[in-house]
Amino acid sequence: MAKISINLATGSFQKEEIIVGIDLGTTNSLVAFINPDKNPQVINDAGKGILVPSVVYFNSQNEAIVGNEAKEFLTTDPANTIFSVKRLLGRSYKDVAEHKDIFSYKVIDDGTDALVKIQAGDRFYTPIELSAEILKELKARAEHALKTPVNRAVITVPAYFNDSQRQATRDAGKLAGLDVMRIVNEPTAASLAYGIGLDPTEQKTIAVYDLGGGTFDVSILQIQNGIFEVLATNGNTYLGGDDFDRAILNYWIENNKLDFAAVAADNILMQTLRLKAEAAKKALSTQNLYNEQVGEIWCTLYKQTFEQLITAKVDETITACKNALKDADLTSADIDEVILVGGSTRTPFVKQAVENFFSKKPQDNINPDEVVALGAAIQADVLAGNRSDILLLDVTPLSLGIETMGGLMDVIISRNSKVPTKAGRQYTTSIDGQVNMKISVYQGERDLVKENRKLAEFDLKGIPAMPAGLPKVDINFLLNADGILTVQAIELRSGVKQEIEITPSYGLSDDTVEKMLLDSIEFAQSDVEQRMLIEARSEGEQLLYTAERFIEKHAEHLTEEEITETKVHIEALKTALATQGKDTILKKADELNEFTRPFAERVMDAAISTAMKGKKIE
Ligand code: ADP
Ligand code: MG
């Protein structure tokens, strides 16, 4: 049975809501979907190109410009042009300090372990917000090209990303208005694109070699029962095609007997040469000589010379492959397939080095800079339940989730997920000093928990009293191969923990499952309306709570008039909450938010900024 959704633009029912696959890359990002012929396809909206450079530029009005247009500001306005933000995602200043020289924009060092912020113009942005800008652009392109709202996505991350980096990616998706159905490892997506792992009886060990613009990683995966296990990863997050460009640039400077410092001081010349170097590198993937001129400067390069220039870097990637194999306790003979990922694997010298090392011809039929997005689209299709052929038995028939503010269902494991599966999300408190959190587990497809089936309820007790929004409660669902669900809640700051075991399918007949699914279709429209109203109310109430506490706590930073005016906005929002619909509530909330934003910036309170993040459980 396929998922049904409503096209909000046309009001019509829509079968098989499209879930897109997104490769959120360090250098380039792109989005793919499964086309009506059931094939994965990358989106090229209005011929703007498939790859969206992962660059965000903020103009003087603080508006974000993303992609190729933003890339043009790398030389003219480097301080406000953010590239490689993926390297900062889920990281603290300490994590990246060693490489701070590569960032031409301001990465704020607040001397703590907190996550980094980036300054552009007079504003500060988190890497999550910046990544969300890239995702918004991809979402918009997908919606424009497919002529349908796109609300759900699978987003890929490197296999070595830790929980905080994965969570940050998920949050970026949420901020961009996407329900992130799953975070998938890039090497897993790449193998899916090659059809590896789709057959549950298949058992394989594969190596995925990914050389992108600024990063390199190799992953060894074992595939068994349709489950991907990462045996080892290795690599260098500061090694990639950019290094090849730099090597060429340096070679030309030397060859033309130019003074490096003098060239480096000339931003425009430097950028022009850098772009020529990249063009030369790409050309040499298919020809033997590149020969052009920039003014008086000869940009000549033979393929053989290029290969000498990059030998040391390529050797480094091979050493990483060796180490990965060693960590996985394997030899190259154990590897069944080698997959090439990343634009830089188009360089024949790289391909050859990989082939030599593994003594095997690597898979390279699929465009290496599209393969991850294509695989993500396949994973999305699997999650949408459109691939019954590969999802016969080992799936969970109904979604599993917990109750969040306003009685809404927050799905943690979506229906048709293969089991065993593990998923989790982070929550926080909505009230200051809250020491208990009630966790109610539900099963079903409806937006309101009261329409779904309650499986269990328990209390996470003993959370130390903290301001609202500060506790970090991880809720993890583990569904084993027998369909038994373990729900674990843990408050990360204190370590308090609670766990229960449930059998979700217990007492559920096939007829009941079918009825629950049919109901979710029948009531989809009213569910959406109710959900939007409830979300607006929760948002409004949360804002009221925050604003009221804010003027209480920080009265000394505010003028008399500011306080009075804030109270007027607060009253207006209260009235809207009591008597009005979603639109008025959101409008009044927006007005209050806009009015108080400058104060909040004035009194950057850590607790409040954290409270803005994450969903709250009552
Ligand atoms: P990321 O995954 O880091 O976002 P990509 O996979 O998009 O990056 O790879 C980008 C890199 O691939 C850039 O360094 C680019 O110059 C390089 N690249 C793209 N096309 C070619 C080509 N034909 N030959 C060699 N390198 C290429
Ligand atoms: Mg990549």
The secondary structure of 324-354 as a DSSP string is: HHHHTT--GGG-SEEEEESGGGGSHHHHHHH
Q: Which ligand is nearest to the CA of 215?
A: 1
Residue-wise pLDDT for 439-471, tens only, equals 999 988 888 898 888 888 888 988 888 888 888
Pick the more confident residue, 360 or 1: 360
Q: Classify each residue of 510-525 as buried b or exposed e, where b means 16 or more C-beta atoms within 10 Å of its C-beta.
A: eeebeebbebbbebbe
> 557 CA to middle of ligand 1, Å?
50
Residue-level pLDDT at 604: 59
> 263 CA to middle of ligand 2, Å?
31
Q: What is the mean pLDDT of residues 389-418?
A: 72
> 388 CA to middle of ligand 2, Å?
29
Mutation choice for ligand 1 from 24, 26, 28, CB with most ligand atoms inside 8 A? 28
Residue-level pLDDT at 197: 82
Is there a contact between 487 and 503 (Cβ–Cβ < 8 Å)? no
C-alpha distances (whole Å) from 312 to each of 265, 316, 468 are 28, 6, 52
Catalytic residue among 210, 369, 410, 491: 210
236 and 356 together in one domain: yes
Residue-wise pLDDT for 277-308, tens only, equals 999 999 999 999 999 999 999 999 999 999 99
Residue-level pLDDT at 149: 93
493 and 550 together in one domain: no
At 234, the amino acid letter reads N
**Which atom number of ligand 1 is nearest to the Cα of residue 368?**
6
221 and 349 together in one domain: yes
Q: Classify each residue of 241-262 as buried b or exposed e, where b means 16 or more C-beta atoms within 10 Å of its C-beta.
A: bbbbbebbbebbbeeeeeeeee
Does ligand 1 have an atom closer than 6 angstroms to the CB of 343? yes
CATH of the domain at 574: 1.20.1270.10
* 384 pLDDT tier (thresholds 50, 70, 90): confident
Whether pLDDT at 10 is above 50: no
72 is catalytic: no
Does ligand 1 have an atom closer than 6 angstroms to the CB of 346? yes
Q: Which ligand is nearest to the CA of 214?
A: 1
Residue-level pLDDT at 314: 98
Residue-level pLDDT at 526: 73
Helix, strand, coil shares, percent, the chain, to 5: 45, 25, 30
Does ligand 1 have an atom closer than 6 angstroms to the CB of 401? no
Is there a contact between 369 and 342 (Cβ–Cβ < 8 Å)? yes
Whether pLDDT at 390 is above 50: no
Whether pLDDT at 394 is above 50: no
Q: How confident is the prediction for the chain on average, in pLDDT?
A: 86
Q: What is the mean pLDDT of residues 28-35?
A: 97
> 86 CA to middle of ligand 2, Å?
11
39 and 102 together in one domain: yes
Residue-level pLDDT at 160: 81
Whether pLDDT at 94 is above 90: no
CATH of the domain at 166: 3.30.420.40
27: Cβ contacts below 8 Å, ≥ 6 apart: 53, 54, 84, 212, 213, 214, 240, 241, 242, 343
CATH of the domain at 410: 2.60.34.10
Residue 388 lies in a domain: no
Residue-level pLDDT at 615: 52
Mark which of 521, 550, 577 sits at the end of a domain: 521
Does ligand 1 have an atom closer than 6 angstroms to the CB of 379? no
* 7 pLDDT tier (thresholds 50, 70, 90): very low
Task: Return the residue matching tokens 């269990």.
Answer: 456
Residue-level pLDDT at 3: 39
* 605 pLDDT tier (thresholds 50, 70, 90): low
Domain residue limits at 588: 526-612
Considering the entire predicted model, what is its pTM? 0.66
210 is catalytic: yes
What does residue 558 show for φ and ψ, rounded to 5 degrees?
-115, 150
Residue-level pLDDT at 184: 86
Q: Whose CA is nearest to atom 24 of ligand 1?
A: 282
378 and 327 together in one domain: no
192 φψ region: left (φ > 0), alpha (ψ -120 to 50), beta (else): alpha
Q: Whose CA is nearest to atom 20 of ligand 1?
A: 343
By CB atoms closer than 10 A (0-12, 13-18, 19+), residue 597 is exposed
> 212 CA to middle of ligand 2, Å?
5
Residue-level pLDDT at 2: 34
What is the percentage of the chain residues whose pLDDT exceeds 70?
Answer: 87
Catalytic residue among 45, 143, 186, 535: 186
SS3 assignment for 515-557: HHHHHHHHCHHHHHHHHHHHHHHHHHHHHHHHHHHHHHHCHHH
86 is catalytic: yes
Whether pLDDT at 276 is above 70: yes
* 580 pLDDT tier (thresholds 50, 70, 90): confident
509 and 434 together in one domain: yes
179 is catalytic: no
Does ligand 1 have an atom closer than 6 angstroms to the CB of 156? no
Mark which of 521, 552, 580 sits at the end of a domain: 521
Domain total for the chain? Answer: 4
Least confident of 173-182, 377-386, 475-484, 576-585: 475-484
Residue-wise pLDDT for 154-193, tens only, equals 999 998 876 668 778 988 998 999 988 888 889 999 999 9
